[in-house]
Amino acid sequence: MKRILWFRRDLRVEDNPLLSHEGEVFPIFIFDTNILDKLKSNDRRVTFIFKTLLHLKQSLRLHGLDLAIFYGKPVDVFKWLLNNESYQEVSASGDYDEYALKRDRDISLMLPFNLHHDTYIFRPDEVLKQDGTPYLVFTPFYNRIKTHFSPEHIGELLRVKQTLIDFDYSLIHCIDGDKHTIDPITLETIGFIPQPLSKHQILLPEEKLALFEHKLENYSKNRDFMALDVTSSLGVDLRFGTISIRALLRWLVVQKQKGCDTEPFFRQLIFRDFYAMLLYHFPHLAWKNYRYPFKGIKNDQNYEAFCSGNTGVPIVDAGIQQLLESGKMHNRVRMICASFFTKNLLLPWQWGERFFAEHLIDYDAASNILSWQWSAGTGVDPQPYFRIFNPYTQTAKFDKEGIYIKQYLPIVQNVPSKFLANESYLRQYTISNYPKPIVDHKISAQRALEYFHLSF
């Protein structure tokens, strides 16, 4: 059987379902212009993907295979492929957002489509309530998961012998309708500018796991403290599949056998599945509130201040600077920023979600969208609208010494750390080249409560 192996969110050789079936194969990756045309030329994710593809090509070559890289619309690429060769099927791993499902349906009309589940622990229709409907609240979903989880969910998929179809794998093949051109394999070929990646972003997943092993025992206790480097940094690897979710779970089993408390980290992985399941069943959540008619107040000036890290609230501005500089943001800071955005500034959560989507290197549509809905209090499993994070008390609790803030916001380097959590000081005294807070927390929080109460 001649089979196209379509790599997407599974950019690895180990434990990959695409490499677990014998036959004559044609491994490909498509730089999808339906997606890329919406991105800025300095999008950090494209640099990460490109470097990962070069590593994947090398790994495949060690096993007698290779990777053909295409640039164009998937439908055009497959039309061109089928006009030049006869294939019996395309094999790909599941991707469940609305665009991905439509894309795969279109390709399945051209060629038999063998879809493998790989990206998440569970299929999006696998863990449902007894009446067959999806869970809407995380805790019951999580409790059900713990009884449903089995060794099958962590089983390794072994690589088998495959024969490579002859092709020119040394160039990027650009397909535009019926037109086919070939170019050198560079980021510039597809219109992007190489971006610097952080030290964590260039580490291999196994290197990150080796570092995380020493942090896992205290993960639950330390993960909210921004200045402590205690997270796994595997978000981008899970997003693009440079590590198998099954391999990560097997690693957790080993750590648990060593006596480590793995439950808090496992719970975060289940949140990832929960959000993916929700977006699969309710695709309109990508733009529409689930529970309440909250629209927010469109204020371009406040939005610009937030996106540029000039709100005058140090913890918020530090988080934005971290995001702009590295494509990352500490999870606790993400919640603080999202609460400030939707509650204190009353901006539409869709604006914030879109801004994060432009800059997060580990951007996962389901996790980002549902997290923003949670912060706005409009989601399926909502944060109550009256729960509003106080960015100053959050700072005092989780960055008391101001280490995180001063790392990413050096403009306040000379401000005593205790004042970074003191709104009265920040409003009263001028810090050179740094703005005063654009809103008063108490007043804006009260305004939010009144706005939400009237809306609901």
The band of 94, judged by pLDDT with boundaries at 50, 70 and 90, is: confident
SS3 content of the chain, % helix, strand, coil (to 5): 50, 10, 40
Tens-place pLDDT, residues 69-91: 999 999 999 999 999 999 999 99
**Selection from 228, 234, 183, 174 nearest residue 204 by Cα:** 234
Tens-place pLDDT, residues 165-188: 999 999 999 999 999 999 999 999
Location of each CATH 1.10.579.10 domain in the chain: 300-455
Location of each CATH 3.40.50.620 domain in the chain: 1-119
Domain topology for 125-155+206-281 = 1.25.40
Tokens 């205290």, residue?
218
Looking at the domain that runs over 300-455, which CATH code has it been given?
Answer: 1.10.579.10
Residue 137: per-residue pLDDT: 93
Residue 294: per-residue pLDDT: 77
Tens-place pLDDT, residues 373-418: 999 988 887 777 788 999 999 999 999 999 999 999 999 999 999 9
Residue 355: per-residue pLDDT: 98
Q: Model pTM greater than 0.85? A: yes
Residue 22: per-residue pLDDT: 94
- The yes-or-no verdict on residue 330 having pLDDT over 90 is yes
Distances (CA, A) of 395 to 324, 398, 415, 440: 20, 5, 14, 16
Rounded mean pLDDT, 141-156: 94
Q: Which amino acid is at 17?
A: P
DSSP string, 239-262: HHTSS-HHHHHHHHHHHHHTT---
Residue 384: per-residue pLDDT: 78
- The yes-or-no verdict on residue 61 having pLDDT over 90 is yes
Rounded mean pLDDT, 357-373: 95
Residue 163: per-residue pLDDT: 97
Tokens 């999008």, residue?
43
Residue 455: per-residue pLDDT: 63
Mean predicted lDDT score pLDDT of the chain: 95
Residue 383: per-residue pLDDT: 73
Domain topology for 1-119 = Rossmann fold (3.40.50)
User: 344 near 437, Cβ under 8 Å?
Assistant: no
User: 373 near 365, Cβ under 8 Å?
Assistant: no
> Percent of the chain beyond pLDDT 90?
91
Tokens standing for residue 354 = 């879109």
**What count of other Cβ atoms lies within 10 Å of the Cβ of residue 64?**
10
Location of each CATH 1.25.40.80 domain in the chain: 125-155+206-281
- The yes-or-no verdict on residue 113 having pLDDT over 90 is yes
